[in-house]
Chain A
Amino acid sequence: MNAIEVRNLVKRYGNFLALNDVTFNVKKGESFALLGPNGAGKTTFVRILSGQVKPTSGEVRVFGENTREFSKNVKKRLGVISHNTFLYDDLSAWENLGFYGKLYGVESLDKKIKEILSKMNLYERADDLVRNFSRGMKQRLAIARALLHSPDLVILDEPTAGLDIQSRMELFRLIDAIKAENRTIVFTTHNLEEVYRVCDVVAIMNKGQVLEITEVKESLDLKEYYLSLVEGS
């Protein structure tokens, strides 16, 4: 069963073609990487996938529902972690999670917030304003915000950007936990090691197109494979 179905997806910004006839599926429980250089179209795809942007043509279906007309029920099943934290600087960590938690209809919200802040080593700073947090702490809180409602599909758009080694290891531990629960992961990166660490399947993108989709195996020399595809495109 597919969690995501992408069909002939095109996104234009004026004359710029950000995504060009992209088609692929992501199975439920799969960890799917989008690997490509800057400007490949990864973030544009993530923005369409999460319902932030509408495609020019083609369609993306998440859990069977077109992203053009996302219902609240499907939106509640998505968690998005990107380089943009979506956090309010003038609210505390607790208030930020409280606000989003209420919008997502999270039950036993106080208990969940306490749990996830503890997991992200932020519980001691729960009442501090986010504007006083370091970049790494904000990113950890953004991860907490995205996972608070236990989403079935976790979208990670270059989530390690700006994270220190400790936070990065914590993030990977969280991703392992998400994978263990058989939830679907879409992970964009231009870091080959992260693909090996996180993903089962990788789509290599360049200039708005998916060049190849392949399973991630120990035997696969991803670097050679990636360079041959991207430089040849």
Chain B
Amino acid sequence: MMQDIFEIAFKDLKIEFRTKNTITFMILFGLITSMMFSISVPLSAVRDVAPGLLWLVFLFVGLLGFSRAFLRELEMGTLDGLKIAPVSPADILLGKIIYNLVLVLIIELIVFPLFIGLFDLRVENLFLAFGVITLGNVGFVVVSSSLSPLVLKAKSRELLIPIILFPVIYPIISSTISALSTAIKGGGLMDTSQEIVLILSFTIIMLTVSLLTFDHALED
């Protein structure tokens, strides 16, 4: 099972790094939005609004890219190839989640330092801030990877994905912003434990529900 999951993720990464169809736009979009925010926000307000703005960047970038993992399979007709192959729907979902996680980690490694530089932001607990962003992105990837197949066959799927995603992902967004704010101001792990537990619990629940119901999402 694990081998099938990694084969699916590795195949997607190989295609993505060969074509750079998605990651290039995700990085560019992340850079552009970070620059626009840095121009429009007064320096005095940076520390208060930076966590929300940074998370907005990841949200926009994620909405642009995460659903592509399934859309590409649908557009090429290869989703049916996976459905008839001896892999479970859960294997397919986990493969897509791993693929999206690799993408988001790359984006994070580029956008986060750039965001700090553009805003001249002093992050007191850099390690915790990076950890919180990563954890929030893991939750985001799990939810968006699980929900995007539900609207794959809809005509206005690009519009539907954010509409469906926002209410579901709200607990992750609010907790991540709160924990990130604490980390920027120098708080420690214990100060953010409530948010971290909430993000982790929500992600695990969403992942479990998705794995149990994902075969229905793939049905015609």
The reply on A232 being an interface residue by CB < 8 A is no
Chain B residues proximal to chain A, CB less than 8 Å: 3-4, 7, 11, 14-15, 18-19, 76-78, 80-81, 83-88, 219-220
Which of chain A's residues have a CB closer than 8 A to the CB of B81? 84, 86-87, 100
- Cα distance A73–B84 when bound, in Å? 12
| Cross-chain contact of B7 among A52, A73, A78, A103 (Cβ < 8 A) | A103
Contact B15 A91 (CB under 8 A): yes
The residue in chain B whose Cβ has the minimal distance to the Cβ of A149 is B86
- Cα distance A54–B81 when bound, in Å? 16
Contact B219 A86 (CB under 8 A): no
Which of chain B's residues have a CB closer than 8 A to the CB of A47? 80, 220
The reply on A226 being an interface residue by CB < 8 A is no
Which of chain A's residues have a CB closer than 8 A to the CB of B88? 72
- Cα distance A8–B83 when bound, in Å? 24
A52/B15 contact (C-beta < 8 A), A75-B86, A84-B80, A86-B77 known:
no
Which of chain B's residues have a CB closer than 8 A to the CB of A50? 84
12 contacts between A and B (CB under 8 A): A52-B80, A53-B219, A53-B220, A75-B85, A78-B84, A85-B77, A86-B84, A87-B76, A91-B11, A95-B11, A99-B11, A103-B85
The residue in chain A whose Cβ has the minimal distance to the Cβ of B77 is A84
Contact A95 B7 (CB under 8 A): no
Chain A 73-111 near chain B by CB (<8 Å), digits 1 or 0: 101101010001111111100010001101111000000
Contact B84 A89 (CB under 8 A): no
Which of chain A's residues have a CB closer than 8 A to the CB of B15? 88, 90-91
The reply on A58 being an interface residue by CB < 8 A is no
- Cα distance A102–B95 when bound, in Å? 14
- Cα distance A53–B79 when bound, in Å? 12
Known: A50-B84, A87-B78, A91-B11. 16 other contacts (CB 8 A): A47-B80, A51-B84, A52-B84, A54-B219, A75-B84, A75-B85, A76-B86, A78-B84, A86-B78, A86-B81, A87-B76, A89-B76, A91-B14, A102-B3, A104-B85, A105-B86
